[in-house]
């Protein structure tokens, strides 16, 4: 192939990949904006209307194709389905089709990385790209192999912070409901409705817990499953505490009150820890950005006057 044609082909491939990345980022931003608008409308009591259009139909077609590819991969390796489903539930994806979409997305990422690597290898062999082309191909491969996993980890970490922030409020509402005379199951249902306005995902987990209890699952197993879905230590401690309280016959209200005070103390300690670590985190931005500007403002007038005096002499 002519080097000029190869360079043109690589240029158009790079433009396509950049367009795909920008389009994906814009789509994610649009989805986040729509979710935020629906959340604000739900908090204000307005009726949320789902819009349907050509873009939604195209997105549904792409997702459907990815899901079919994921279904084929799931058939080839069914042993990992339960593990992947548990991780996706912890990351906030509860749909039964989420495993197929995830596997299909991994396959598509590997396919795109393979195509990009095939396009960059001739460029590196011909000597036009050199080490940069090899690093670019390696970057494509690493992004395809680790990208979906990092997305799940980032979303899981984000949800864990939301759960840790909302768990003391959950305990406070549970204590108030139990002390008002409600049973624990009724209190969970009531708290889930109230808490979903501020912590949407935590409210979803409480709704699943309520459905499991109504379906006849034992309280111990339902709370243990709830703790595994949240995957935070506070939820596991609450499940253990409720199981021990039920086995020993202690007062549920007093137990929840003590546990709620402990959760509020932990949240205050986390806030104090963040406040104490703030000066250390600000040190690098101060040294790199603010300190040079400050030194320039202080030194430049004196340097200008010295230069003017030397030039006059």
Read off the DSSP letter of residue 215: T
* Interatomic CA distance for residues 240 and 234, integer angstroms: 10
Q: Residue 303 falls within a domain, yes or no? A: no
Q: Residue 48 falls within a domain, yes or no? A: no
- Are 141 and 75 within one domain? yes
Residue 249: CB atoms within 10 Å:
7
- Are 167 and 194 within one domain? yes
Q: Residue 283 falls within a domain, yes or no? A: no
CA 172 vs CA 161, 167, 176, 177: distances in Å: 18, 9, 6, 9
* Interatomic CA distance for residues 154 and 161, integer angstroms: 11
Q: Which of 210, 255, 87, 211 is closest to 160 using CA atoms?
A: 87
Please answer whether residues 202 and 170 qualify as being in contact, where contact means their C-beta atoms are separated by less than 8 angstroms. Answer: yes
Give rounded-to-5 percent helix, strand, coil for the chain: 85, 0, 15
Which residues does 166 contact at the CB level (< 8 Å), separation at least 6?
195, 198, 199, 202
- Are 71 and 147 within one domain? yes
CA 48 vs CA 4, 38, 42, 55, 139: distances in Å: 54, 6, 7, 19, 42
Give me the tens of pLDDT residue by residue for the chain, a chain 313 residues long: 555 565 666 566 656 666 666 666 666 666 666 666 666 665 665 443 344 444 455 555 555 655 565 555 555 556 677 777 888 888 878 777 777 777 777 777 777 777 777 777 666 666 555 666 667 767 777 777 777 788 888 888 888 888 888 888 888 888 888 888 888 888 888 888 888 888 888 888 888 888 888 888 888 888 888 888 888 888 888 888 888 887 887 777 788 888 888 888 888 888 888 888 888 888 888 888 888 888 888 888 888 888 888 877 6
- Are 9 and 134 within one domain? yes
C-alpha 193, offset from chain centre = 23
- Are 98 and 172 within one domain? no
Please answer whether residues 67 and 101 qualify as being in contact, where contact means their C-beta atoms are separated by less than 8 angstroms. Answer: yes
Q: Compute the Cα dihedral for 239, 241, 246, 252 and give only its sign.
A: negative
Read off the DSSP letter of residue 198: T
Q: Please report the DSSP string for 280-296 in residue order.
A: HHHHHHIIIIIHHHHHH
Residue 197: burial class (beta carbons within 10 Å; 0-12, 13-18, 19+): exposed
Q: What is the reported pTM?
A: 0.61
State the residue range of the domain holding 210: 163-268
Residue 75: CB atoms within 10 Å:
9
On the CB side of 135, how many CA atoms lie within 13 Å of its CA?
4
Q: Residue 97 falls within a domain, yes or no? A: yes
- Are 12 and 105 within one domain? yes
Q: Compute the Cα dihedral for 183, 184, 188, 189 and give only its sign.
A: negative
* Interatomic CA distance for residues 162 and 115, integer angstroms: 38
- Are 131 and 228 within one domain? no
- Are 228 and 256 within one domain? yes
Q: Residue 250 falls within a domain, yes or no? A: yes
CA 36 vs CA 92, 117, 311: distances in Å: 16, 38, 62
The model's pLDDT over 233-288, given as tens digits with 9 standing for 90+, comes to: 888 888 888 888 878 877 777 888 888 888 888 888 888 888 888 888 888 888 88
- Are 203 and 227 within one domain? yes
């Amino acid at each position: 192939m002519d080097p000029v044609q190869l360079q043109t082909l690589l240029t158009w491939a790079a433009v396509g990949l950049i367009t795909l990345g920008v389009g994906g980022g814009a789509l994610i931003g649009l989805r986040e904006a729509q979710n935020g608008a629906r959340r604000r409308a739900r908090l204000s009591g307005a009726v949320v209307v789902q819009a349907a259009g050509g873009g939604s139909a195209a997105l549904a077609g792409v997702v459907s194709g990815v899901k079919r590819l994921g279904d084929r991969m799931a058939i080839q390796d069914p042993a990992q389905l339960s593990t992947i489903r548990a991780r996706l539930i912890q990351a906030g994806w509860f749909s039964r089709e989420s495993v197929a979409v995830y596997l299909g997305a991994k396959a598509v990422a590997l396919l795109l990385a393979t195509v990009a690597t095939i396009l960059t290898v001739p460029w590196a062999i011909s000597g036009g790209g050199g080490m940069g082309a090899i690093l670019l191909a390696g970057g494509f491969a690493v992004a395809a192999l680790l990208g979906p996993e990092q997305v799940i980890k980032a979303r899981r970490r984000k949800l864990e912070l939301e759960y840790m922030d909302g768990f003391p409020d959950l305990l406070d509402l549970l204590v108030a409901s139990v002390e008002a005379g409600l049973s624990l199951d009724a209190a969970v249902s009531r708290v889930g409705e109230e808490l979903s306005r501020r912590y949407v995902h935590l409210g979803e987990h409480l709704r699943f817990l309520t459905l499991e209890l109504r379906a006849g699952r034992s309280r111990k197993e339902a709370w243990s499953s709830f703790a595994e879905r949240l995957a935070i230590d506070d939820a596991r401690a609450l499940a253990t505490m409720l199981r021990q309280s039920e086995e020993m016959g202690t007062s549920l209200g007093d137990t929840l009150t003590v546990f709620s005070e402990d959760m509020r103390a932990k949240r205050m300690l986390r806030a104090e820890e963040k406040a104490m670590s703030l000066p250390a985190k600000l040190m690098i931005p101060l040294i790199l950005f603010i300190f040079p500007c400050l030194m320039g403002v202080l030194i430049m007038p004196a340097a200008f006057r010295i230069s003017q005096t030397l030039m006059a002499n």
